Amino acid sequence: MDLSIIIPLYNEAESLPELKAWIDRSLQDFSYEIIFVDDGSTDDSWKVISSFPAPTGNLKGIRFRRNYGKSAALYEGFAAAEGDIVVTMDADLQDSPEEIPEMVRMIREEGYDLVSGWKQHRKDNALTKNLPSKLYNWTARKVTGIKLHDMNCGIKAYRADVVKNIEVYGEMHRYIPYLAKNAGFSKIGEKPVHHQKRKYGTSKFGMNRFMNGLLDLMSLWFLSRFGGKPMHFFGTSGILMFLLGFVMTVWIIVEKLVHQASGLKFRPVTDQPLFYLALVAVVLGVMLFLAGFLGEMISRSAEGRNNYQIKERIG
C-alpha cells in the first residue's frame, strides 16, 4: 500500500463527508487507507465515520472512550498504519489533500524522511493565532536547530519507519520533527501549503497551547540532551553550586581572621547575610548532585536504556 492517511478528530461531524470525498478525488493515482481516530467526540462524528462505504477496504476507524488529546490519537494511528508513507492531516478542512502527492514525491525522489507543511498565508486571526505562532516557531527553530517555518502544521508526510520508531505522548505532537531528528531521521523538508479558513465548528485549541508548547519544548530539549546522562547536568550544576558556596564561606572566614589579627573591627561570621547565602549554595549543590546520582541510577536500570535505532545491518 502506498499511503496511510491519519486523521485525528474531535467533534468534526460536519466536515468529515466533505473531507473524505476530497481525499478520494485527490489520491486517485495511489493505493491508500484512511484512518480516522475519533478522540472521544461528543457529536455524531463516529456515526458519520461508520456510515462511510469502504468497498476497497481502505477505511479504518479508531474511537476513544474519552478525549485524550491529539498525541494519543496520532500514536494509535501510527500503530495502525500499513502504508509505505504515512500522512497526517487535520479534519477541519483547513489542510488540503491536494498537497499530498507533491509531499509524497519529495519523500520518494528527494529522499526526505519527513516533509512538513508550511502555512505561508494563514487564514486565522492575526492577533490570537498568527503572531503567537510566529513567536512559537521562532523559539522552536532556535532550540531544536530544525529550520521549519511551521513546526506544528497539521499536514505532514513521513516514511513509515519514522512513525514506527518514535513515541508521541502527552502533547508532543507539536514536536514530531524534533522527535524524528532525535531518533536519527535528520533529512527533514518543508513544503508551502494552501491554508483554508475553518468551514465548520470552532477551533479546539486555546491560547494556553502556547505556554504548554513552550514547556513541552523545554522538556524535550532537556531529555534529548541529558535524558540518558542526568549526572552531566545535575552533577555539574551541583558541583558548581557547592564550590560557589564553599569559596564564599572560606572568603568570609579568612576576612574575619585577617581583621581580627590586625586589630580591626570585624563582624562575627554568623552575623553576615552572605554566610547564610553560602550555606544555601552548599546545601543546594549537595542536593543537585544527589539528584543527578539518583537520576543516573534510574537511567541505568531503565528497561529501554539500550534501545538504539539501527538503520542497516550486513551479515
Which residue type is seen at 127? L
pLDDT digits (tens, 9 = 90+) for 251-302: 888 888 888 888 888 788 788 888 899 999 999 999 999 988 888 787 777 6
Better-predicted residue by pLDDT, 250 or 121: 250
249 has pLDDT over 70 = yes
pLDDT band per the 50, 70, 90 thresholds, residue 98: very high
pLDDT digits (tens, 9 = 90+) for 36-61: 999 999 999 999 999 987 655 689 99
pLDDT score of 99? 94
Cell digits for 56?
Answer: 476497497
223 has pLDDT over 80 = no
Q: Give the range among 5-14, 137-146, 149-158 with minimum mean pLDDT.
A: 137-146
pLDDT score of 215? 74
Better-predicted residue by pLDDT, 159 or 206: 159
How far apart (Å, rounded) are the C-alpha atoms in residues 288 and 266? 34
Estimate the crossing angle of helix 230-261 against helix 273-301, to 10 degrees.
160
Above pLDDT 70, what percent of the chain? 86
DSSP element (H, E) containing 117 = strand 114-119
Closest CA to 91 of 32, 13, 183: 13
The pTM of this model reads 0.74
pLDDT band per the 50, 70, 90 thresholds, residue 196: confident
How far apart (Å, rounded) are the C-alpha atoms in residues 77 and 34? 10
Average pLDDT on 169-176 reads 84
Which ranges constitute the DSSP H helices of 164-272? Answer: 176-182, 208-226, 230-261
How far apart (Å, rounded) are the C-alpha atoms in residues 18 and 22? 6
pLDDT band per the 50, 70, 90 thresholds, residue 173: confident
- Taking all residues of the chain, what is their mean pLDDT, rounded to a whole number? 85
pLDDT digits (tens, 9 = 90+) for 63-74: 999 999 899 999
Hey, which residues does 8 pair with through a beta bridge?
Answer: 37
pLDDT score of 25? 93
pLDDT score of 74? 94
Above pLDDT 90, what percent of the chain? 47
Which residue type is seen at 203? S
207 has pLDDT over 60 = no
pLDDT score of 313? 66
pLDDT score of 208? 63
